[in-house]
Structure 1
Amino acid sequence: MTPNDSATVVVGVDGSEGAGEAVRWAARLASARALELEVVHCLQVAALYYGGGPAGSDALFGQLRLEGERITERARELALSIGPSLTVRTEVVADAPPAGLLDRSKRVRMVVLGRTGTGGFAGMLVGGTAATVASHAGCPVAVIRGRHGDGPVPSEGPVVVGVDCTPNSEAAIAAAFEEAGFRGVPLVALHAWNDVTYDGPGSTARLIPQPESLEPGEERLLAQRLAGWQEKYPDVRVRRIVTRDRPRHALLSESDRAQLVVVGSRGRGGFRGMLLGSTSQALLHHSSCPVLVVRRGSDHPL
């Protein structure tokens, strides 16, 4: 089964407040689109058996599983309070979050994660786990953030998509149009570029003289990337932004007014190393709205 064939959204939970916001967001999405919801808690029990297994590991494993079942049951009740007619399944798995979620991403429509939490998803958005899931998932990955991080998750405002004017952003553009069309909101297509170039590998940065002369070309590139999508979604009003700025600065600024930011998992040009460097860290840690990461080659089916 491919993500396109699936009718399931997976949400990872750890009992934290951030995971609760992820459950609410996922439940609203699944309920509105007649999808099923699967609530997953990862135990991370490998540490219990490090070095051959300490005494009492089996008992501790049982306690962890029991707590995981309590966490998933509370999440199920929360989801049903959002969508009473939802079909909600729960699962407690022994895998670490990256492995457990990546395995499920191959056969579901979307994986939804909360901001930093505790328990089974400790450090989810602090270290490399979120980058691993978002970079390698077989489906789109949504990271749910509110205004100023721990504020309310916005339900109003446009959808914003980061466009790097290469084929790498095609999947993100497709997802952004679909999301804006379903939500009935405008789409902001943002292309950020700068006036610094490199002559080759290992070379030093060089300022481009008269960078304003390049802006018409950047605008044409953005128009080319959007060509065809506006015809496919005639009801989606599109606002194009071409700015000479760092992508993370521009996207973070737009996230203050958006209900969703959509980006590709990695790119070139303005979005080089999207989920490997500073841009991804800025979005995951500081976006003022949920972030949807769509890998190249994975169709957005929602």
Structure 2
Amino acid sequence: MVEEATLGGKIVVGVDGSEQSRKALRWAVRQAELTDSVVEAVMAWEPPFSGWGSAVPVGEEADLAKRARTILAETVEKAAGSQPPVHIRLRVGEGTPAWVLLAAAGEQASLLVVGHRGIGGFEGALLGSVGQYCVQHSPCPVVVVRGAADHTRP
């Protein structure tokens, strides 16, 4: 196990369970190998909107956070394998995806990596809202990982 103090930096990558986020994670892992960095895989969760003035019942936040952590761990294993070549930390945060990613990046990240659109993205969108916000407000450089080009479109 490599001591984190000897690592070249921290690469934060947004993970939402989508194929685009798995591509971003695989890219981040390859970059971390090249730069002796640690990868911090970040997933955001928000309580579901339950109406005006009502709150999520006590205890449900913990259940949502636990589910998000389980989904994050499964996604990381699916994308990077059970024995990834670099250290990958899992981080689950409550809030909008862009805010959670920017908070993680603000903690001395050398790079923020996102997919070009996530699970809520429109099929033809060049860049999703989370990626757009991160590109505009990140405290560190941002890499937007795109999928294979679709050459059938004009």
TM-score tier after normalising by the smaller chain length? 0.7 to 0.9
**Aligned counterpart in structure 1 of residue 45 of structure 2, from 193, 217, 238:** 193
In structure 1, C-alpha distance between the alignment counterparts of 2:132 and 2:114, rounded to whole Å: 13
Query: What TM-score do you get using the length of structure 2 for normalisation?
Result: 0.74
Counterpart of 2:117 in structure 1 is 266
Task: Supply the AA of the counterpart residue of 2:134.
Answer: L
Deviation at 1:281, TM superposition (A): 3.7
Are residues 297 and 222 of structure 1, via their aligned partners in 2, closer, same or farther at CA, if it must alter by over 3 Å? farther
Task: Map Cα deviations across residues 12-61 of structure 1 (whole Å, 9 max, x no partner).
Answer: xxxxxxxxxxxxxxxxxxxxxxxxxxxxxxxxxxxxxxxxxxxxxxxxxx
Report 1:276-287 matches (<5 A): 276-277=128-129, 279-287=130-138
In structure 1, C-alpha distance between the alignment counterparts of 2:15 and 2:55, rounded to whole Å: 22
Are residues 194 and 233 of structure 1, via their aligned partners in 2, closer, same or farther at CA, if it must alter by over 3 Å? same
Instruction: Confirm whether residue 162 of structure 1 aligns to residue 14 of structure 2.
Output: yes
Task: Supply the AA of the counterpart residue of 1:215.
Answer: A
Deviation at 1:274, TM superposition (A): 9.2
Deviation at 1:282, TM superposition (A): 2.7
**Aligned counterpart in structure 1 of residue 145 of structure 2, from 281, 294, 297:** 294
How many residues are matched?
135
Counterpart of 1:221 in structure 2 is 71
Are residues 294 and 196 of structure 1, via their aligned partners in 2, closer, same or farther at CA, if it must alter by over 3 Å? same
The CA RMSD over aligned residues, in Å, is: 2.9
Task: Map Cα deviations across residues 146-179 of structure 1 (whole Å, 9 max, x no partner).
Answer: xxxxxxxxxx520110001222311111101111
Q: Taking every aligned residue pair, what percent have the same amino acid on both sides?
A: 31
Task: Supply the AA of the counterpart residue of 1:216.
Answer: K
In structure 1, C-alpha distance between the alignment counterparts of 2:100 and 2:40, rounded to whole Å: 12
Task: Map Cα deviations across residues 165-216 of structure 1 (whole Å, 9 max, x no partner).
Answer: 2223111111011111111111000001100258xxxxx9x86432221222
In structure 1, C-alpha distance between the alignment counterparts of 2:131 and 2:118, rounded to whole Å: 11
Structure 2: 5+ residue stretches without partners: 1-7, 150-154
Q: Contact 2:47/2:56 (CA < 8 Å) preserved in 1?
A: yes
In structure 2, C-alpha distance between the alignment counterparts of 1:214 and 1:223, rounded to whole Å: 14
Task: Supply the AA of the counterpart residue of 2:144.
Answer: V
Report 1:201-212 matches (<5 A): 208-209=56-57, 210-212=60-62
In structure 1, C-alpha distance between the alignment counterparts of 2:145 and 2:101, rounded to whole Å: 16
In structure 1, C-alpha distance between the alignment counterparts of 2:44 and 2:104, rounded to whole Å: 12
In structure 1, C-alpha distance between the alignment counterparts of 2:21 and 2:103, rounded to whole Å: 20
Task: Supply the AA of the counterpart residue of 1:193.
Answer: W
In structure 2, C-alpha distance between the alignment counterparts of 1:255 and 1:215, rounded to whole Å: 20
Q: Contact 1:274/1:280 (CA < 8 Å) preserved in 2?
A: no
**Of the two, which has the highest radius of gyration?**
1
Task: Supply the AA of the counterpart residue of 2:139.
Answer: S
Query: What TM-score do you get using the length of structure 1 for normalisation?
Result: 0.40
Name the SS for the 1:227 alignment partner: helix
Structure 1: 5+ residue stretches without partners: 1-155, 199-203
Instruction: Confirm whether residue 242 of structure 1 aligns to residue 92 of structure 2.
Output: yes
In structure 1, C-alpha distance between the alignment counterparts of 2:23 and 2:102, rounded to whole Å: 20
Instruction: Confirm whether residue 275 of structure 1 aligns to residue 144 of structure 2.
Output: no
Which of the pair has the greater relative contact order for Cα pairs under 8 Å at 6+ separation?
Answer: 2
Task: Supply the AA of the counterpart residue of 1:252.
Answer: L
In structure 2, C-alpha distance between the alignment counterparts of 1:207 and 1:296, rounded to whole Å: 38
**Aligned counterpart in structure 1 of residue 84 of structure 2, from 233, 240, 244:** 233
